[in-house]
Chain A
């Protein structure tokens, strides 16, 4: 079985996260110094061509390409934003990273700022993580006092309870003091982002990976995990497993390794029903696919997605429809409300799912849910609406009996 491999979490448990001296003693900020001696194009090329560091927030976009696009964009005013608005249910990896080693994130941000030529950076950290907010501010102050920031300013901005602000354009709107409503793309943030200037938005885990890649080189990184998604990924286990927690593993690890190896198998010796990989916006994985590795392409082939790396294990004691109530009500609550299909659709889907879960549903309700799922997946403005019904569609195809058993008995 593949072992845990700590790159992003290399210092976790070994250093005092509130001490920059500990971080430096452990080799910290060497990568930043090295990066600043490199030609910017070479630095970006390292990430883009060789490393193929794919974004760890869920979308998996090539980080080097993103930085390259911002680097090439016109104008002196550029921004770096770290997306620490972790909100996908089942996901807590960014919290673990920031709690244990805030400096690796800051170092990654400063390397990016150098690469694209930005002087202002923001960490948008969800409002619920108040202690982390404070820790980040402390770490930034320490870095500034050590003269590591150059003339780059990093500010920490709070979120205030909105999942959709994890979407990069909605995050930018929120940071600008507006409602967190996604923007039309194109233009992409690397061309017109924060204050309509070129902006790189990357996830915490992505930035945390950067210092090690710069230090050890792209070839070293590419040799770890799967070729289409190299390196390690933080996986967050939750649900009916024995060991719930975060692990960092090479991306060619299988779902079985995660659930039975690291997770210790199902609690109380029960049987596995399904695993939801990627959080509430992704589908359920059938037990017959447990030996698929979690990298992007392998997951895509079975109609799933790695997403944020959340792994929620469900045992055979649950009716999937009951779980879908939480999921559909989550999206109804978090929809920004801008576009009609999502605003109205998430409301109606939650209503219908609840009705079925409570035993009040009829066959026509299931048909209507399917119609809405089909409609929303193609017509909504942004990824929230488009993926709000992915879990439901997947559950309907994997567990039709769970739905049928809940329907009102037909009058004879």
Chain B
């Protein structure tokens, strides 16, 4: 693949043939703002924020979807393009609930009045995204102070039917990330885009409440939504109340999976942040005990290892294992004939809840008069659905929510003195191949299944790990058609 020579903002750039303007700009260190674009998904180019001027074209071109060609001359930040982006933002914000646009504390909407660091600490703002909203960030950047249109009142009701994933259509900018993820990556087909023109809405299947649609509460839509249109049910206030209270005992388990996002949000290098910072922060806000997930995770994995040891060799059909609540629901909904083949083992969260209730309350001599609240800190949003359904833990907090809690309570991760986590119980040791098979999965758009050989009871068995529900569907179709080459299939959401 040869390169092509293009010019971006009067700077000569050599770009790989077939790449988009956005890719070429990013690799040359030139930033083009985006909103609907999400790496791994086919670009829709519907937000028109990434539009750029291409000499020779009367209309602006979307950088995320336009491929470079030899001699292309591009301007990413001309006054005309900036004006276009501002116009688009004005249009989007005019039909968006504006509780985020007007700072109640200062009493101003003018971006110049808002000091970024000050604003981020303010918690009077009603929006659930509280300053981590991609739309709000762009509005600030392009100084969208005045909305020149008739603001529409809240047109749609909020969908709380699942009790863990909340849909607020009044904040939706119809970027379609959630629909794409639900349809193409997760293949759940719970979300869709309906109607036409300004009536279009992102809605669960056939307009039903989310709980009545095929939704399995995998929480990936929450992960990709750029605004506060789909988010996890917010229980931060309740959590802080209990951590501060003297009449309760609170115990938290922190998963390693929050570290990446938490570091990014706190503007720290990943190498500068480890779990001991989080432990210190949580203890500072009154959490009595904080553990890492090693013990609980390993005990859950041991359950799986035992099941495999007992069944894998003798089973005629592949054994399907999962610690994901959403994945188990997915099987029940779409592959009911295979439900009997699925062994659900405890996730780290589920084990943690059990351990606190059954084992640790004696071990750490928790006062019986005090109510115990369990907090699971994890970025895997699937856990929210599981806790809501099964009541395994009382609170599930992801990286974003943890960041907001620390900001509100004045915890500064950059300066706090590290504290080691408490240790209760002993982790179970597993053989390395089993560790590899049962390791927590990182959900990523565009990932592939991972094949491996696993030795169980002296036999080497073919195993595969699916990392998305789309993989799960693929793998389960094979089992249904009796064409599966695997003996062990691990699925996750």
Contacts and interface: CB of A to CB of B under 8 A. Distances in A.
Q: Do chains A and B touch in the complex (CB under 8 A)?
A: yes
Interface of A: 162, 179, 184, 186, 332-341, 343-348, 351, 364, 368, 371-372, 375, 377-381, 386
A344 B91 CA distance: 6
Interface stretch (B21-29, B57-65, B205-213, B412-420): B57-65
B195 interface: yes
A368 B91 CA distance: 12
B94 interface: yes
Contacts of B174: 337, 340, 343
A379 B200 CA distance: 20
B150 A351 contact: yes
A54 to B, nearest CB: 20
A344 B46 contact: no
A372 B65 CA distance: 24
A364 B46 CA distance: 28
A75 to B, nearest CB: 20
Given A340-B47, A368-B148, A378-B58, A346 B87 contact: no
A338 B46 contact: yes
Contact of A340 (B43, B91, B196): B91
Contacts of B45: 184, 339, 381
Given A337-B197, A371-B87, A379-B59, A344 B92 contact: yes
B173 interface: yes
Question: Of residues A338, A351, A379, which shows the largest number of chain B Cβ atoms within 10 Å of its Cβ?
Answer: A379
Contacts of B118: none
A344 B198 contact: yes
28 contacts: A162-B196, A179-B193, A179-B196, A184-B45, A332-B197, A332-B198, A335-B197, A339-B46, A339-B47, A340-B46, A340-B48, A341-B48, A341-B87, A343-B200, A344-B94, A344-B198, A347-B197, A347-B198, A348-B91, A348-B149, A351-B150, A375-B87, A378-B80, A379-B48, A379-B59, A380-B48, A380-B59, A381-B48
B359 interface: no
A336 B83 CA distance: 24
A364 B59 CA distance: 26
Nearest to A335: B197
Contact of B95 (A337, A344, A378): A344
B interface SS class: loop
A336 B48 contact: no
A340 B43 CA distance: 15
Question: Of residues A184, A332, A340, A364, which shows the largest number of chain B Cβ atoms within 10 Å of its Cβ?
Answer: A340
A346 B84 contact: no
Contacts of B58: 378
Nearest to B53: A378
B65 A379 contact: no
A334 B45 CA distance: 19
Given A337-B195, A381-B45, A381-B46, 7 more contacts: A184-B65, A341-B48, A344-B91, A344-B92, A364-B148, A371-B87, A378-B58
B84 A379 contact: yes
Given A348-B91, A348-B149, A379-B84, A339 B196 contact: no
A345 B90 CA distance: 10
Contacts of B87: 341, 371-372, 375, 379
A98 to B, nearest CB: 26
Contacts of A337: 174, 195-200
Contacts of B91: 340-341, 344-345, 348
Contacts of B198: 332, 335, 337, 343-344, 346-347
Interface string B52-93: 000000111000010100000000000010011001100110
A336 B194 CA distance: 11
A42 B174 CA distance: 48
Contacts of B8: none
A385 to B, nearest CB: 9
A346 B197 contact: yes
B190 interface: no
Contacts of A184: 43, 45, 65
B51 interface: yes
A340 B200 contact: no
A299 to B, nearest CB: 17
B462 interface: no
Nearest to A161: B196
A332 B196 CA distance: 10
Interface in B228-249: none
